[in-house]
Structure 1
Amino acid sequence: MGESVLFALHKEVKSGEHAISAILPLLKLITVALFGLILTKVQLVPKATFKQLSKLVFVLFLPCLIFTDLGPSITLYKIVRWWFIPVNVIISTTIGCILGYMVALICRPPEELFRFTIIMTAFGNTGNIPLAIVTSVCHSTDNPFGSECSENGIAYASFSQWVSVALVYTLVYHMMEPPLEYYAIVNEGGEIQEVPIDNSRPLLVEAEWPGLEDQETEHSKTPFIARLFNSISRISNRNVPDLDTVEEAGDERNVPDIDAIEEAGDERNVPDIDAIEEAGDERSENNPISIRCLAERGMVRKIKIVAEQTPIHHILQPPTIASFLAIVIGVIPAVKKFVYSSDGPLEFITDSLDIMSEAMVPSVMLILGGMLAEGPNQSKIGIRTTIGIIVARLLVLPVIGIGVIYLADKWNILISKDDQMYRFVLLLQYTTPSAILLGAVASLRGYAVKEASALLFWQHVCAVVSLSLYMIVFFDLLFSYI
């Protein structure tokens, strides 16, 4: 009886320690963010200063952090063992898309914001926020993850960034295209008149994509894909009769019976397709086979055009380049020793980069505080949809994430049970609010900028509570049961 009481008391003490270890890192980050909020509110620091600070984070502080922590940790063997980290980003995004689709069906946002609802639910922040949380957790010497907490945690969080960036510049970029009905007004003459777009950009746009105006292209603010494929639909649906009906009707328009021609060997009524195409046969416009072939050829050509218009080259941003460089150097032992070794010739450069990397976390949190100080913009997405996205993204998805990681662990997909930081980073990928980069993409496409700003504001406010709750749950699971 006495042993049971002592065991229960010991368990309570351990749970309390886990709660403190989980909450304190978040309190540190919130305190830094409050400084940014206060500086913005009392106008001690202008908004332009935060924009310049965000550029420093993007092109200097964050790449330095990734390069100095990922490079020493990575090896070819570890790349093979860490394969589940990028896969987990794809899994969490897929589950998020399903949840977002359910939210859109249940909450019924305005029709032009249906895709936007799915995107804001699906794509979480897998960059700055996980890195800030890991750094804050590892800042204490008595952290539960051991002496290599910071090095391993930043390496794991950095290793997944390239997947998120690739998804944003391909899938998200096209899904955030302005809907055709929302963008254009079709008058009686069939001409398209553009609707004026509000180009005002809140601070959140600059938080993860500075210099956004330089990234705009000819079609970035137009429903390019919708207009491109709308012409295919008109071609394929115009004057195209049902082939089965034509055959059953007995060819009233002098269309020969192909089977009969083949049996009889009649070569007189078989048209030369190449000759028709070269001569521009006017009758091909009424030929359903020709029209459908034309639509199919046009479809392939336009898919190629869409691929050319996809800004995949933007993936090569400073943080992504730093990740690639760190991986390349890390997997070559001789080069790795030359760059990262304490007695290597370039050790003084690595130390300088390490010093600059320490400014990354406080800068990011100051920018976040400045972003929240602007407050939520007016949004026509509706309170019901806003609540639905927040609940799905911050409350439901983390629970599903716990189940995914638990099953992956049971199926021996994850690495050794001793590395709890690996599991912690995987769990964080399900827990963060929507990526701030989504607001930047919305501004780039000229679509739902105010709605993105409002949603990101409320998600980050609510994430203070949800992250605190799930951090306690994660620590309790990682150090009590797993």
Structure 2
Amino acid sequence: MTLEGLADLWFLPVNVLITCVIGSILGWILVIVTKPPRHLWGLVISCTSAANLGNMLLIILPALCKEKNNPFGEVASTCSANGKAYASLSLAIQIIYIWSVLYFLLRMYANNEVKESNSNNSIIVAANGCTRDVLHDPVGLPQIQNDGNQKVSTTVKFKQLFMKIMRSESLRKIFAPATIAAIVGFLIGIATPIRKTFIGDSAPLHVIYSAAELIGNAGIPSVTLIVGANILKGLSGSGVRPSVIIGILIIRNIFLPVSGIGVIKAAKHLSLVDENSFYLFTLLIQYAIPPAMNIGTISQMLGSGESEFSMIMLWNYILAIFTLTFWIGFYMWLVI
């Protein structure tokens, strides 16, 4: 994807963020109404906010393009290439959003669960008479050093602050491997000299691009298998209430797809998007995709909400067999 092509698709990443904002608002309303355990609030909002845009779009869009009677009126090869570009851009924006916003949301509520557990443990320890005298704990008191009124230079302070930021866990999580891959992909696509080095039959480093494409094609079914493995865990049950699951299903399969029609209709009315039917279909289908798999990855990392997420995924993907089929057909009828 070139810089010119990215400029033409400027509304696509904006649309991804709009889906996330609408989903977050609806998820927040859901947790207020259903009142799930507080440590699951972040999980519920994340499931209504982020969709599995990468894997699902990479399967759906090229498959539609390869049909004999392509409904979008484009050549199969051109349509498939555009579909991969739309899916890749959607995935890149979604990945950055998940690891820069939803990760901290999930961690915040997971930490609340840990704090409550530690608080309960502290009460038990105190009841057993195992508390320590803070006055005799050298770690509990600040270490005061009388080094005079020595002033630290601004450069040293800035250097210390910079190193503290670079070593922070939050920054490392934002720049997860998926985020770095998205940024590198943008740089290769936007910078013409770099793109010509990797992409094209006569490119000197074309072998690297071919190898990456080969691994990427194999990664799609691999990720699909991981989806199945996570759904399988949901069969064992979890502590999440049926009202929460039903609320997520209604938001993801009814409210979001319907709101997407309003958003895209408004964007067309304001001339923010082209009349390209395939492009409009891609914008619409972003609202009807089931929850993102990365939410489960983060839940496993934090050790909170893993079984609950599996149960939510199980019912979402079972229902998506019917709802996603309906919305794909309806959206195609709407844009063609």
For Structure 1 versus Structure 2, the TM-score category normalised by the shorter chain is 0.7 to 0.9
Q: Is the 8 A contact 1:169 1:312 kept in 2?
A: no
Deviations 1:13-36 (A, max 9, x none): xxxxxxxxxxxxxxxxxxxxxxxx
**What is the distance in 1 between the residues matched to 2:61 and 2:27?**
27
Residue-pair matches, total: 294
1:109 and 2:36 are equivalent in the alignment: yes
The match for 2:63 is 136
Q: Is the 8 A contact 1:169 1:311 kept in 2?
A: no
Q: How does 1:431-450 map to 2 (within 5 A)?
A: 431-450=288-307
The match for 2:50 is 123
15, 18, 39: which one aligns with 1:88: 15
What SS class does the counterpart of residue 376 from structure 1 fall into? helix
**CA deviation after TM superposition for structure 1 residue 420, in Å:** 2.2
What SS class does the counterpart of residue 452 from structure 1 fall into? helix
1:184 and 2:112 are equivalent in the alignment: no
**CA deviation after TM superposition for structure 1 residue 123, in Å:** 1.8
Q: How does 1:219-298 map to 2 (within 5 A)?
A: none
The match for 1:364 is 223
Percent of aligned positions that are identical? 30
The match for 1:341 is 200
Cα 1:160–1:315, aligned 2, differ >3 Å: closer, same or farther? farther
Deviations 1:33-85 (A, max 9, x none): xxxxxxxxxxxxxxxxxxxxxxxxxxxxxxxxxxxxxxxxx122222222212
**CA deviation after TM superposition for structure 1 residue 348, in Å:** 4.5
Cα 1:365–1:162, aligned 2, differ >3 Å: closer, same or farther? closer
**CA deviation after TM superposition for structure 1 residue 322, in Å:** 4.2
308, 313, 318: which one aligns with 2:168: 308
**What is the distance in 2 between the residues matched to 1:149 and 1:97?**
32
**What is the distance in 1 between the residues matched to 2:256 and 2:84?**
23
TM-score, normalised by the number of residues in structure 2? 0.77
TM-score, normalised by the number of residues in structure 1? 0.55
Q: Is the 8 A contact 1:393 1:431 kept in 2?
A: yes
Cα 1:141–1:351, aligned 2, differ >3 Å: closer, same or farther? farther
Q: Is the 8 A contact 1:161 1:320 kept in 2?
A: no
Structure 2 gaps, min length 5? 127-147, 149-160
Structure 1 gaps, min length 5? 1-73, 192-277, 279-300
The residue type paired with residue 243 of structure 2 is R
**CA deviation after TM superposition for structure 1 residue 135, in Å:** 2.7
What root-mean-square deviation, in Å, do the aligned CA atoms of Structure 1 and Structure 2 show? 2.9
What SS class does the counterpart of residue 119 from structure 2 fall into? strand
* Largest Rg, 1 or 2: 1
Deviations 1:333-388 (A, max 9, x none): 44433432233333444344444443333333333334434443422220111111
What SS class does the counterpart of residue 433 from structure 1 fall into? coil
The match for 2:250 is 391
**What is the distance in 1 between the residues matched to 2:223 and 2:303?**
25
The match for 2:94 is 164
**What is the distance in 2 between the residues matched to 1:363 and 1:112?**
30
